Structure 1
Amino acid sequence: MLIRNAPDLKDHDVTDHGLYLRRRDFVLGGVGMGAALMGAGPARAAPLKHSPNRMRIDEDKTPLKDVTSYNNFYEFGTDKDSPAAYAGMMKTRPWIVTIAGLCDKPGKYGIDDLIRRFPLEERIYRMRCVEAWSMVIPWIGFPLAKLIRAVQPTSQARYVAFQTLHDPRQMPGQRSDILRWPYQEALRLDEALNPLTLLAVGLYGQTLPNQNGAPIRLVVPWKYGFKGIKSIVRIQFTANRPKTSWNLLAPREYGFYGNVNPAVDHPRWSQAKERRIGEFFRRKTLPFNGYGDQVASLYRGLDPRTLY
C-alpha cells in the first residue's frame, strides 16, 4: 500500500506535486531478529501503512527538494549540500538498533522489525535550526513513547541517550575532528515520553532519505534541530545525564535542553527571528517553536535560561 497524505490535507499543502506522485513505496526488507520483538511474531516482508495525520499545522510545507538538499549532517561534511552529495554511500539495510541500559527488555532490533511492530503515522511539524532557519516537514514515524513502554525502563531510568552510526568509511565527515564521534544526544525520560516526540523513518510519504537521517532519526519539534539525532544505532536508558556532542564541544553555545527560546540568544546571533526556507522575509520565532501548550509544563519551576 502506498503511503498517502491524510484525507484532511489540502492540495496546496504539497508544494512539489510531481515529486509526490513519484514517491516510492515503503517496502520492508528481510532483516530479522533471533527472537521475536517484544512478543511479535517472526519477521515477514510486508508493505507499510500509516494512520491519518493527527498532528499538523496550518502552514505551507517546505518543498521536498529543499528538505532533502539543505541539511546539517556533519558526518557527511559541514556544507549544507554535502549530505545530499555524500550520504548515498551509507548502507541502511541491514540496520540494527541496540537498546540497552536500565530497561527490562534490552536487545538488538532490526529496523524493519521496529517498523512492523509500531504502526506509522504522519506528523507535520515545524523544524527550527539553532542557526535561525526553519522548515515545515511532513514526517512519517512512530511515537518514541511506544518503544519506551515496550522495553520497560526501570524505576532508576531518568534519561534516554542516543548514538549515531560511527563508520568513517561510509561517513567521510567522521574523518575530521570537528566533533567527538560518534554523535550523541539525549533527552530526559519525561521529554522522551511526550506524545510529540517521534522516531521518524520517512518524510513526504517516502522512505527517509539518507541525508535526512535514514533509516531512523529522532524528531523533537519544540527543540533546536541539533537535538534531532540521525541514523540511530543505540538507545540507552541511564540514571545520570548523558554527555551530548554539541554541548561537549561548546557548552556556552549549545545546552543540554536545546529548547527553542526566542528570548535567549545564541552567543553569536539573535534567536528572536528565523528564516523559513523558501521565504524572503524573516518571521518571529515562537517559544518552544509553537508547541508550548504541549510541553511547557515539563519545565515548570526551572529557569528558562537554563533550558537552552
Structure 2
Amino acid sequence: MKPYRVAPIAGSDITPESVYLQRRGFLRGLGLLAPLLASGCSSGGDAGAPADSGPSGAVLPATRNSRWDSKEELTSWRDATSYNNYYEFGTGKGDPARHAGRFQPQPWTVEVAGHAEVIGRFSLEDLLKPHTLEERIYRHRCVEAWSMVIPWIGIPLGECLKRFKPTSRAKYVAFTTVNRPQEMPGLAYDVLDWPYREALRIDEAMHPLAMLAVGLYGRALPNQNGAPLRLVVPWKYGFKGAKSIVRIEFWENQPSTSWNIAGPSEYGFYSNVNPAVDHPRWTQSSERRIAGSGGSLFAKRIATLPFNGYADEVASLYAGMNLRANY
C-alpha cells in the first residue's frame, strides 16, 4: 500500500498548560481526574502486551447502572484488550495492543462545532465534570461476526450533547478521531481516508443507550481500546464506535463516514446489527462470542439478535424504515 500523507497535529489542538492545570484542580475534588491521569490511560503492564493477570491500570470509580446490566458471561480482560479493531495502529487484531504504547492520551481536548449554541474547545475534564461515571454491561458486536460482553465506564452521550444546546438544524452528530502519524503507525497506509470519521442521527445520539466511554472493567481505557474517550453504541456494529475522539460536530445533512466511503456496498451509514442483512463477504446471522477465559477465541457460534438484542429499546427509532435499504 502507498503511504498516505497526513498533516501534523496543529498547535491549536493542544490545551494551554495553565488552563489544563486549573481544570485539573477542579476534578481532583470530584475524584475523577486522578485515576484517568495516573496511567495516562495507557495499556496495563508493558505497553502493547496482553494483560494476563486481569484488569490493570488506573481504577475508575463508577456506579453500576442496573438498567443495562447483563447476566451473560463477560469477555475476559485479556481478550477485550488484545483482540481489537483499531486500524490507526494496524489492521491485525493484535496490532493495536502491540503498537499503541507510544500513544499519549493526556492532556486531551475535544472541539465542538456546527449547529449548536455552545461551541469551542473543551478539555476532557470539562466534558466529564457535570456527570457521575457509570458502568454499563453491553453486548458489543463486530461486523466480522464476532462479539464481546464488556463492562464499559462512561457518561450518557445524550446528556453530554445537551450541554452544547444543539439547534433545530442539528439533525446529525459527527465524530472525528485523532490523527497522529508519529504515534499511530497505521496512519502511514491509506486503508481508510484519515482521519477516521463516524456519525449518528441526532435521535440515535440522544438515546440513553449511547454513551461516551472513558474506561472498562473498572479501569481507564487502554490505548488500544480508544483512550481516553470513545463512542459506544451497542445496537450497531463495532466500527460505529469512534475511538480517541477529538471533534464533535452537529450537522444538518447526513455526514460522510469512513467505512461508508471506503465500501458503500458493504458498510452502510446506519450499520444496525441485522441478522437478516448479510455482509457481501460473510453471514451476519450468527456470531462467535468471545467470553470468559481460556480458549474463548474458539467459542461456538450463536444466533445474532436484531439490534444486537436491544430491539425493545431502539427499534422505534427506525419505525417505517426499510432496514435492508438503510443498512
Residues in 2 aligned to 1:254 and 1:228: alpha-carbon distance in whole angstroms:
14
Classify 1:31/1:142 alpha carbon distance in 2 versus 1 (closer, same or farther; 3 Å).
farther
SS across alignment from 1:100: strand
- Contact 1:31–1:110 (CA under 8 A) maintained in structure 2: no
Partner deviation per Cα, 1:241-297 (whole Å, 9 max, x = no partner): 000000000000000000000000000111000001125210000000000000000
Find 2:309's aligned residue among 290, 294, 305: 290
Residues in 2 aligned to 1:108 and 1:33: alpha-carbon distance in whole angstroms:
12
Find 2:26's aligned residue among 43, 52, 56: 43
- Asked whether 1:73 is paired with 2:86, we answer yes
- Asked whether 1:160 is paired with 2:173, we answer yes
Partner deviation per Cα, 1:47-98 (whole Å, 9 max, x = no partner): 2342232211110000000000000000000000000011111101111011
Q: CA deviation at 1:32?
A: 7.2
- Contact 2:64–2:136 (CA under 8 A) maintained in structure 1: no
- Within a 5 Å distance, the mapping from 1:67-106 to structure 2 comes to 67-106=80-119
Classify 1:33/1:237 alpha carbon distance in 2 versus 1 (closer, same or farther; 3 Å).
farther
- Contact 1:125–1:221 (CA under 8 A) maintained in structure 2: yes
- Asked whether 1:53 is paired with 2:36, we answer no
Partner deviation per Cα, 1:164-185 (whole Å, 9 max, x = no partner): 0011001110010110000000
Aligned residue in 2 for 1:302: 321
Task: Report how many residues are paired.
Answer: 275
Q: CA deviation at 1:117?
A: 2.4
Residues in 2 aligned to 1:282 and 1:31: alpha-carbon distance in whole angstroms:
50
Aligned residue in 1 for 2:37: none
Residues in 2 aligned to 1:291 and 1:32: alpha-carbon distance in whole angstroms:
44
In the TM superposition, structure 1's runs of 4+ consecutive aligned residues that sit over 4 Å from their partners are 30-34
Q: CA deviation at 1:304?
A: 1.4
Find 1:240's aligned residue among 242, 253, 256: 253
Aligned residue in 2 for 1:135: 148
SS across alignment from 2:28: coil
Partner deviation per Cα, 1:217-256 (whole Å, 9 max, x = no partner): 0000000001001000000001010000000000000000
Find 1:169's aligned residue among 182, 193, 218: 182
TM-score (structure 2 length as normaliser):
0.81
The residue type equivalent to 1:51 in the other structure is T
- Within a 5 Å distance, the mapping from 1:211-222 to structure 2 comes to 211-222=224-235
Partner deviation per Cα, 1:172-216 (whole Å, 9 max, x = no partner): 100101100000000000000000000000000000000000000
Q: CA deviation at 1:116?
A: 2.1
SS across alignment from 1:306: coil
The residue type equivalent to 1:127 in the other structure is H
Find 2:276's aligned residue among 257, 263, 266: 263
- Contact 1:32–1:43 (CA under 8 A) maintained in structure 2: no
- Within a 5 Å distance, the mapping from 1:196-215 to structure 2 comes to 196-215=209-228
- Within a 5 Å distance, the mapping from 1:11-50 to structure 2 comes to 33=19, 43-46=26-29, 47-48=31-32, 49-50=61-62
SS across alignment from 1:243: coil
Residues in 2 aligned to 1:71 and 1:274: alpha-carbon distance in whole angstroms:
16
Gaps of 5+ in 1: 1-29
Residues in 1 aligned to 2:320 and 2:18: alpha-carbon distance in whole angstroms:
45
TM-score (structure 1 length as normaliser):
0.86
